[in-house]
Amino acid sequence: MATRDRLAVGLALGGAADARSWQEALALAGSAEELALDSLWLPEGHLRAGSTSSPLLGLAAFAARTQRIRLGTSSLLISIHPPERVAAEVAALDRLSGGRVVLGLGRGFDRAIFRAFGVDPRDKRDRFDEALDAILAIWAGTAASTGPGASESGPALEDARPLQRPHPPLYVAAFGAKGLAQAARRGLPYLASPLESLDALARNFALHAEQLPPPCDPASLPVAVMRTVHVAADRAEAERVRRAAEAEFAALAARAAGGPLAARAAGAAAERVLVGEAGEVAAALARYRDRLGLDLLVVRAASRVGAAEQRASLERLVGDVLSRIGVKMPDRPAA
């Protein structure tokens, strides 16, 4: 059971793709910093409308608009990219931002993306491990340079080392036993999917904890969950947003039929979203803290909620909901 009086709150800003949505995302990034949120998160996606194909580039734009808030990838797909490039770009972002990067790493599951990048889906887990080993070696300064003219041992790639040492905090975005085991073997925390129910998450965190290698203590790892959250001004708004969330999850379940997400997307949206007036959302969050020991909540916007309404929901979350469950937010930055 969570006993700490703090709960870090991050904001997921996935879906920015066209010029207008990027401007809205940039404005929300500024709002998140004003509200003293902990972090901003972008996923990596390809081949679908609204996908963010270059999350590190997007986070660099957020870095330029903010001073304090941390900058995270919720699913950087290192299984499809050259590790040298990932290491260098993450290091550049970490230095640019003054050491604010947090990395959620993913293997990917969409076969169409693997085909587009020339990767055999059956190799995704091996490629993930090989890429992460290479990235960590580069950041540690122990990787050999393999470029033209390099010596046999190779110089340390100092320009590819991040400001944070030995590296930015790492999470593994995972669902399913194999992904959880892969995260656990490395002693890394896992970033929970927004698709799974509270019961499923409890099982996942237990499975992850069971497979951590000694002497890694599960209590030493952050418990991070992404959820669709909307704190409504009144009952009518709550019902409207809840209906939109139900439609979104129904559509997702239909698209996932027969695929790797099918089991995760099945079931009522109410098992996956925290939508309601302040008291309802506070009660739901209390259940997550009691059941999981939640200490990082990454807030995902509800479907069909505009930027202004999302900002208002965040203000209610910070100003009303968290105090109801005994959570003290950091002081807001001075204007």
pLDDT at 217: 94
Closest CA to 147 of 136, 155, 138: 155
- CA 128 vs. chain centroid, Å, equals 17
Greatest distance between any 2 Cα atoms in the chain: 68
pLDDT at 286: 96
Structure-block tokens of residue 209: 């904890």
Q: Average pLDDT, stretch 133-157?
A: 66
Closest CA to 189 of 108, 299, 103: 103
Residue 49 or residue 23, greater confidence:
23
- 85, containing H or E segment: helix 83-96
Range with the lowest mean pLDDT among 104-113, 146-155, 230-239, 271-280? 146-155
- Could you give the percent of the chain with pLDDT greater than 70? 87
- Give the pLDDT band (50/70/90) at residue 148: very low
Provide CB contacts within 8 A for 109, sequence distance 6+: 259, 260, 261
pLDDT at 144: 60
β-pairing, 101-106 vs 224-231, is unpaired
Structure-block tokens of residue 239: 């019902």
Separation CA 47–CA 52 (nearest Å): 10
Separation CA 50–CA 153 (nearest Å): 44
Q: In 3-state terms, what secondary structure has residue 273?
A: strand
Which residue type is seen at 204? N
Give 306-326 pLDDT, tens digit per residue: 889 999 999 999 999 999 999
Give 224-251 pLDDT, tens digit per residue: 999 999 999 999 999 999 999 888 888 8
Contact criterion met (CB below 8 Å) for 226 and 191: yes
Question: What are the start and end residues of each CATH 3.20.20.30 domain in the chain?
Answer: 9-168, 205-326
Give 271-290 pLDDT, tens digit per residue: 789 999 999 999 999 999 99
Angle at 294 between CA 240 and CA 14, to 5 degrees: 50
pLDDT at 50: 64
pLDDT at 153: 39
pLDDT at 302: 86
Give 21-46 pLDDT, tens digit per residue: 889 999 999 999 999 999 999 998 77
pLDDT at 112: 80
What DSSP assignment string belongs to 132-155?
Answer: HHHHHHHHHT-PPP-STT--SS--
Mean pLDDT rounded to a whole number for the chain: 87
Contact criterion met (CB below 8 Å) for 51 and 17: yes
Q: Is residue 6 scored above 90 in pLDDT? A: no
pLDDT at 325: 94
Domain 9-168 in CATH 3.40.630.30? no
- CATH tag, 205-326: 3.20.20.30
pTM: 0.90
Range with the lowest mean pLDDT among 113-117, 153-157, 257-261, 297-301? 153-157
Phi-psi map region of 75: left, alpha, beta (phi>0 left; psi -120 to 50 alpha): beta
